[in-house]
């Protein structure tokens, strides 16, 4: 019988070892392409647990985050203006942005609001506009010009897992969908090119938890004055968005833990049984039709037992066809 590691291509092992080498660097030396530049604290246990499983290794991740993002300037029409705009956008994005904009706020943890954010006189003790780099406005964007919008985002967990073969990718996709990450999928089909081609990469994600709202704009009147990032919403509206994002953080954490436990159960070496040409199923795998009939039979026995408790039989008479103790587990 094959072992779980005997069907793993050597090229995958080389790729995995290189990734693990980089992840093992001290925090002071490690950096990546994310705005934060390192692995999120809230996802490190999950990354560690995945990377010890044979045939799997993480390539990128985000535990989930709240962010406020200012878009970059829109493209202009003339060639000279386009070249100047591209150069300006490159310089603009270097300060910590995505594409041609910049982050005004990023956090990979829920936003902690004080229990009471309003003083006895009605003033805000913890103004959210200032925390997000916004100047309060009148709620009316200027007309007749393209605006650089400010967007509030909540983005749930996204995780990319490189797998040795498509066989290892299958349980990852199944567990991801069962855990609530229903938009998960395989990235590209170049992994079908052969053993020397790219290894399959599973993207674990759930767009249904995402939240986005336009909350402001960049007020740049082309006069040469310093641009002002103005708000289009109230303090109360920002507080509502934060509460919604915090609720989604909780759902995100629950799904992440379900995914972790399911993956450990499905992909641990002692759980996978390989046979034939490398195809395999978990050791406790059960055919869907067999499972359906088993559950039906157990349900009938459970109903018969409950009916007998409602109407006791005469003394000395036993339940017919009752063969043993019932299993009340959830399915």
CB-CB neighbours of 51 under 10 Å: 15
Q: Please report the sign of the dihedral spanned by the C-alpha atoms of residue 126, residue 128, residue 130, residue 135.
A: negative
Residue 286: its pLDDT value, please? 55
Residue 185 to residue 174: CA distance in whole angstroms: 10
181, with CB counted inside 10 A (0-12, 13-18, 19+), is: buried
Residue 82: its pLDDT value, please? 43
294 part of a folded domain: yes
CB-CB neighbours of 281 under 10 Å: 14
Residue 105: its pLDDT value, please? 95
The token pair that represents 254 in the structure block:
């629950």
Residue 264: its pLDDT value, please? 93
Q: What angle (nearest 5°) sits at the alpha carbon of residue 290, between those of residues 287 and 291?
A: 85
Residue 329: its pLDDT value, please? 34
The token pair that represents 311 in the structure block:
């109407």
257 part of a folded domain: no
Please indicate, yes or no, whether residues 182 and 36 belong to a single structural domain of this protein: yes
Please indicate, yes or no, whether residues 272 and 136 belong to a single structural domain of this protein: no
Give the pLDDT confidence of 277-286 residue by residue, as tens digits.
Answer: 444 555 455 5
28 part of a folded domain: yes
Name the residue range of residue 52's domain.
10-63+157-208+267-281
DSSP string, 298-310: HHHHHHHHHHHHH
Contacts of 188 (CB under 8 A, 6+ apart): 198, 201
Please indicate, yes or no, whether residues 197 and 213 belong to a single structural domain of this protein: no
Please indicate, yes or no, whether residues 195 and 93 belong to a single structural domain of this protein: no
31 part of a folded domain: yes
Question: What is the distance of C-alpha 184 from the center of its chain?
Answer: 9
Residue 205 to residue 184: CA distance in whole angstroms: 5
DSSP state of 318: -
Residue 1: its pLDDT value, please? 38
Please indicate, yes or no, whether residues 59 and 199 belong to a single structural domain of this protein: yes
Residue 167 to residue 276: CA distance in whole angstroms: 13
26 part of a folded domain: yes
DSSP three-state, residue 85:
helix
Please indicate, yes or no, whether residues 181 and 304 belong to a single structural domain of this protein: no
Counting the structural domains of the chain, the total is 3
β-partners of residue 106 are 67
92 part of a folded domain: yes
Give the pLDDT confidence of 127-178 residue by residue, as tens digits.
Answer: 899 999 999 988 888 887 788 999 999 999 999 999 999 989 999 999 999 9
Provide the residue-wise pLDDT of the chain in tens; the chain has 331 residues.
344 455 788 989 999 999 999 887 765 554 555 555 567 788 899 999 999 999 999 999 999 999 999 998 765 544 444 444 444 443 333 334 445 789 999 999 999 887 766 656 666 667 899 999 999 988 888 887 788 999 999 999 999 999 999 989 999 999 999 999 999 999 877 777 666 678 899 999 998 899 999 999 998 766 667 789 999 999 999 999 999 999 999 999 999 999 999 999 988 776 544 333 444 555 455 556 556 666 777 677 767 666 666 555 444 444 344 344 333 333 2
**What CATH number corresponds to the domain at position 185?**
3.30.1960.10
230 part of a folded domain: yes
DSSP string, 43-62: GHHHHHHHHTSTTEEEEEEE
Please indicate, yes or no, whether residues 188 and 326 belong to a single structural domain of this protein: no
Please indicate, yes or no, whether residues 168 and 197 belong to a single structural domain of this protein: yes
260 part of a folded domain: no
Please indicate, yes or no, whether residues 277 and 163 belong to a single structural domain of this protein: yes
Residue 4: its pLDDT value, please? 47
Q: What angle (nearest 5°) sits at the alpha carbon of residue 84, between those of residues 140 and 215?
A: 20
Residue 284 to residue 263: CA distance in whole angstroms: 15
The H or E element containing residue 130 is helix 128-131
Please indicate, yes or no, whether residues 69 and 216 belong to a single structural domain of this protein: yes
Closest by CA to 267, choosing from 202, 180, 182, is: 202
Please indicate, yes or no, whether residues 96 and 224 belong to a single structural domain of this protein: yes
Closest by CA to 132, choosing from 234, 251, 253, is: 234
Residue 7: its pLDDT value, please? 77
The token pair that represents 88 in the structure block:
């300006």
Please indicate, yes or no, whether residues 91 and 136 belong to a single structural domain of this protein: yes
DSSP string, 143-201: SSS--EEEEEEEE--EEEEEESSHHHHHHHHHHHHHTT-TT-EE--SGGGG-TTSPPPE
Residue 40 to residue 96: CA distance in whole angstroms: 17
């Amino acid at each position: 019988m094959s072992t779980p590691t005997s069907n793993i291509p050597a090229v995958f092992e080389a790729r995995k070892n290189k990734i693990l080498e980089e992840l093992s660097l001290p925090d002071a030396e490690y950096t990546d392409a994310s705005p934060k530049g390192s692995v999120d604290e809230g996802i490190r246990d999950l990354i560690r647990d995945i990377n010890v499983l044979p045939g799997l290794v993480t390539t990128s991740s985000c535990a989930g985050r709240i962010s406020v993002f200012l878009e970059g300037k829109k493209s202009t029409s003339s060639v000279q203006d386009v070249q100047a705009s591209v150069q300006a956008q490159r310089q603009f994005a270097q300060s910590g942005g995505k594409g041609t904009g910049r982050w005004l706020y990023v956090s990979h943890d829920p936003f902690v609001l004080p229990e009471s954010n309003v003083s006895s006189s009605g003033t805000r003790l913890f103004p959210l506009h200032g925390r997000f780099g916004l100047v309060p406005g009148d709620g009316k964007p200027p007309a007749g010009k393209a605006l650089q919008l400010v967007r509030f985002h909540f983005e749930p967990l996204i995780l990319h897992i490189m797998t040795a073969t498509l066989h290892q990718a299958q349980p990852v996709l199944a567990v991801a969908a069962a855990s609530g990450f229903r938009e998960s999928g395989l990235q590209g089909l170049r992994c079908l090119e052969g053993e020397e081609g790219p290894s399959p990469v599973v993207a674990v994600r759930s767009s249904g938890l995402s939240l986005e709202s336009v909350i402001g704009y960049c007020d740049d009147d082309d006069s040469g004055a310093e641009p002002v990032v103005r708000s289009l919403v109230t303090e109360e509206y920002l507080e509502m968005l934060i509460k919604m994002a915090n609720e989604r953080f909780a759902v995100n954490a629950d799904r992440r833990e379900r995914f972790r436990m399911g993956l450990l159960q499905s992909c641990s070496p002692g759980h996978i049984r390989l046979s034939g040409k490398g195809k395999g199923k978990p050791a406790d795998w059960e055919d869907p039709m067999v499972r359906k009939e088993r559950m039906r039979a157990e349900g009938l026995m459970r109903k018969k037992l409950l009916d007998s408790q409602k109407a006791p039989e005469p003394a000395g008479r036993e339940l017919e066809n009752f063969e043993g103790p019932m299993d009340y587990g959830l399915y």
